[in-house]
Copies of this chain bind each other. A is one copy, B any other.
Amino acid sequence: MNIGEIATRSGLPAKTIRYYESIGLITPLRDTNSYRTFRQQDLHKLTFIGRARALGFSIEDCRNLLALYEDQNRSSADVKSIAHNHLAKIEQKIADLVDMQGTLTRLISACAGDNRPDCPILDSLDIQSR
């Protein structure tokens, strides 16, 4: 398999796949013409990474998850731990964003949104108003 085909099959852009190779996530073989040659296991890994990334895992998390994935002697506790830490970060992000959402929603609904300059949104950002 050349990079174009594996890109289609894995759903990842060829650029991304080259990048993943450059950071050592995958190690495709090379043909005599210097083209990358991907095996089934590479497709496997790339699909795995694509799914993990879709769940928001960082590249470093993906690297660790891949290592566990390939380690038949792994403990599921290690996987769970990575996932748990990741979930905690996501929940923190959600909390932060929901805070912003609340404030913005309030400000937006208080703003007339017409051609006059008065604006509670700007007021709340201005030091004067506090």
List A residues at the B interface (Cβ < 8 Å). Answer: 43-44, 47-48, 51-52, 55-56, 65, 68-69, 71-77, 79-81, 83-84, 86-87, 90-91, 93-94, 97-98, 100-101, 103-105, 107-108, 111-119, 121-122, 124-127
Contacts A93-B97, A104-B90, A118-B76; A65 near B125 (Cβ below 8 A): yes
Cβ A122 vs Cβ B80 within 8 A: no
Cβ B93 vs Cβ A108 within 8 A: no
Contact partners of A83 in chain B: CB under 8 A: 104, 107-108, 111, 121
Contact partners of A71 in chain B: CB under 8 A: 117
CA distance A29 to B117 in the complex (A): 29
Cβ A48 vs Cβ B94 within 8 A: no
CA distance A105 to B80 in the complex (A): 11
A55 (CB) vs chain B CBs: closest residue: B100
Contact partners of A43 in chain B: CB under 8 A: 127
CA distance A122 to B71 in the complex (A): 11
Cβ B114 vs Cβ A77 within 8 A: yes
CA distance A76 to B110 in the complex (A): 11
Contact partners of A76 in chain B: CB under 8 A: 111-119, 121
Contacts A48-B127, A79-B119, A118-B76; A87 near B104 (Cβ below 8 A): yes
